[in-house]
Structure 1
Amino acid sequence: MPPVSEPLHLLVMGVSGSGKSTLGALLAERLGLPFADADAFHPPANIAKMSAGIALTDADRWPWLDALGEWLAARQGGGVVACSALKRAYRDRLRAHAPGLRIVHPHGELPLIAARQAAREGHFMPPSLMASQYATLEPPAPEEAALVLDVAQPPAALAARAAEWARGALPGA
């Protein structure tokens, strides 16, 4: 864990339907930090593309990631963001704004995530893009020191484990 003087910036990353937003909000609450869901940072054009079943390009994502990174950088005491950040380059883009960014990766197999996503109502990301999400996913590399969590566990249990890890109480933190 970074020294107390450094802000604790956390990224909860993963494919759509992995529970990033739920976990991120619970984690932020446990740590007393502000929370932001990256979905709220998408410009209307990105939402329209995804709603139409069109995967975003890197060019679509850069301004979105920069806006999210700027939000993190402005949180001097730290903050938690839920963002797909499926590629290492996307996580690096966020790290450029918030050095020391720590990563929590809720992960599950495609059938479980697809079932969750199919049951979700009112979200702009259609289940038809699930395959592209998994195809794009670059799991965090060992040097990223991410905490990988099994999404089959209850969200409250995942948040408790992530909070303990973020506080440096778990081995490898």
Structure 2
Amino acid sequence: MNDIRSAPAIVAMGVAGCGKTVVGEALAKELGAIFIEGDRLHPPENVARMARGEPLTDALREGWLDAIGERIAASIADGQKAVAACSALKRSYRDRLRGFCPDIVFLYLKIDRETAWRRVAGRKGHFMPASLVDSQFATLEEPDPDELAVTVDATWTVAAIVNELLG
């Protein structure tokens, strides 16, 4: 797990409900890193589309991925380690983020469909409806062995995940 500590940037990735934000925030705190919440960088039209239960297309994700990549690059340029929460579901999305920082380590929070659906259905005040969970799994391309990525069981507690990564 040394890759996590030495990485200039970490992206907590996975389907909706896997815990990207809570794990990312906890990891950033432990590492003294800047936390970047990818959901806050979606343009209003993306948020409206998802709120209506419509999955995003690759084209609609491009600007959003670039916004996250730019924030990561700016943090690194300022001498700060960055931890971002971003679904990064496809290899092409991760490659796009690597264009901003080739040494990003992806933290894949792996979760089963039923747990993800239950978590998303139970969220209050979030634009992403549980009806989109299936489309997230349909889009998901798990990280390939040649990618800088660490896979963790997202059903563990946040503390257990952070301890596994940094312990």
TM over 0.5: yes
Partner of 1:33: 33
Q: CA-to-partner distance for each residue in 1:100-122, whole Å, 9 max, x for gaps? A: 00010111111111111111111
Unpaired runs of 5+ residues, structure 2, are none
2:104–2:148 Cα contact (<8 Å) kept: no
Partner of 2:82: 79
Deviation at 1:160, TM superposition (A): 2.0
More displaced stretch, 47-56 vs 73-82:
73-82
More displaced stretch, 87-96 vs 148-157:
148-157
> Given residue 40 of structure 2, which amino acid in structure 1 is its aligned partner?
A
Aligned residues: 162
SS in 1 for 2:99: helix
Cα distance in 2 between the residues matched to 1:49 and 1:163? 37
Partner of 1:43: 43
Is 1:13 aligned with 2:16?
A: no
Scaled by the length of structure 1, what TM-score is found? Answer: 0.89
Q: Is the alpha carbon distance of 1:41 and 1:11 closer, same or farther for their aligned partners in structure 2, counting shifts above 3 Å?
A: same
Q: Is the alpha carbon distance of 1:106 and 1:7 closer, same or farther for their aligned partners in structure 2, counting shifts above 3 Å?
A: closer
Cα distance in 2 between the residues matched to 1:112 and 1:54? 21
Deviation at 1:81, TM superposition (A): 0.2
Cα distance in 2 between the residues matched to 1:145 and 1:100? 8
Unpaired runs of 5+ residues, structure 1, are 165-173
1:121 aligned to which of 118, 124, 127: 124
1:157 aligned to which of 143, 157, 160: 160
Is 1:134 aligned with 2:101?
A: no
SS in 2 for 1:71: helix
Scaled by the length of structure 2, what TM-score is found? Answer: 0.92
